[in-house]
Chain A
């Protein structure tokens, strides 16, 4: 936790006022009211409409003295009305000198929480905000493909707009914006304006935002998907920029789990100011991403005490000064020696520490310690009060709710699934996690824990899990075995023809990602076939296949193969259309004349023939081609003439020619 001194302003109207929106109150020094007016005006994101959620946005500006500031605003409905009886919006705005931010690595969410906690804004002095530390692990947990794509696209200097996330709470949107910003060097935050909601009919200056519809300009549009998947396809501009954005996104994809946390921590250290308008700053961001991450600093060894003391006495003196890792090392040491008096005191202190909460880096070190510990407990010792009180405190120390699979995977090892007469510390942690209330673990984490606790627990967990939670787990799990279990269970439920499950699978891109994670080659195709087969229902119909292929974004080759193998009779045109139109989309041809021509041609090809035999079909095709050829030739001649003489002249020519021919005919007949 750190504190920052923030200048503040309130923008809105006074009760029953006939005046326009304005800054109605603010701190006095060093920023003037006109500074606040200018900055709030510049970064407005649109009129706040009825039934809209609170809007949170960030902004930046340079003061008269050349000092850079970063601002955060929270806009919500007022309780009062203006002179015309209309409810108006009130914006609370705080801004902090940029030079104070990097030192504390303040995240947007932390600044918002601090403003929220602060309550009213007193005048005219600045407000002191207590801001939580930069939580790299929390931010890493919020990173999705869309966040990666957004971060990469921001480097083009263009605006990025996320659509289709109207249903999300504004705090979730703020976390997303924070996560995307965290994937760039921290120095970019000096010039990054984001907003949890913008109106695209407003000419705003927000670089990264959510909206109902993307503005009709060069803004990049990213579609929000429940599984967080996204991919950058079409990047306008030079080939160099395009390849650069793709590389940035691809490099980010290489970081998962702990590696992502480390990366975010590393990028947070890159505090020198950068600008999205400077290509060299954006280029250097990529090189930065490709640098090997610095090795974690070696753990400081406990300083030798001047006079050696008895262990129990020594701990009493030094416990309060110890880091959580040192304290945990001591506890494990006491267990090893079975030093019961010392153990009692240490566990007590550990519990206090766990209840108070520890910083993320310490938590990570403690997880590492548990992971590498060789300590084992005989089963007869499991009921001892020391152990009974130690393990819950340890779990409390190692994890924060809701526990994610990534967190657990940092502690447990694959061999922990094997049961022996003695249990190791990791297995004890796992058993304790299984006892936690449902809301303390993410769905995927529950499955993972159940898998480590034994087959029985897993079966009972699966039978209780709702369809949506199961799907969430399949996408979140980063371990092969439980993912496979989740996917198998989903397919089993699909075959029970539960329409709810079929809908959920459809919305989640037909399990493409989890299946890609657990299987390859023929096995993967087998999985896809099962999913398609189950979703097609009985009897399978071409329309069903069409629906499936339409819902899948970017149909992978092996999914195409599975679709061919499961295709019902007379669905060749459906398959062809889906595959070709998918290619059209991938190549960015959708809506272009070529794309429209391809679509038209496919529609014509899909026109059903009247029960043709194979030879009839071939003949029909030839006839079609010949029939097509005639008007095509005529058109060509007509186009050439039109090009030469113009449309009207051609019309007149035909008219004159017709009259002349009539005259000739009449003369001849006479």
Chain B
């Protein structure tokens, strides 16, 4: 169930992870891309955290605000990709709050926007597998790390890395790694809500 409290904790945990790993993610991107993925995501997530300052937003409204923050602030390919995922999740959130269904809708949006297939060494190689893991309660930190690691031997068929052809083999895809962090943040947020179910939300000191 994706409610306001979980969405806030999820995005706060993701923001924290992205800000911490900004240089690491840009470093991964420098190996096979344009070297700005971490900085772009950090800028986008700062904008995302600002959207929580607007009080009394429904999950759908909040997801839409997150989408627009990412679309307008990220600047690289990750902006329209993550943005499209959250935008379509926002549209679906009026009908379902089930996480596995929402993430599946997000994964479909990413596939449509970027035109990538499984195994093209993109963020889709993480997103595509998460809905089933959520549905069967098998989503784990180790599983997510494995999904991101799977992109290492792949040859990039989409994105800036595809210009490198075979030379893209042997490097992690930065979008897959930030997606791994997104869903690790979800696990953290879910665990956190179990221990402190009534978080001090919005206008909190961590904003």
Is the A/B pair a real complex?
no
Chain A residues packing against B (C-beta within 8 Å): none
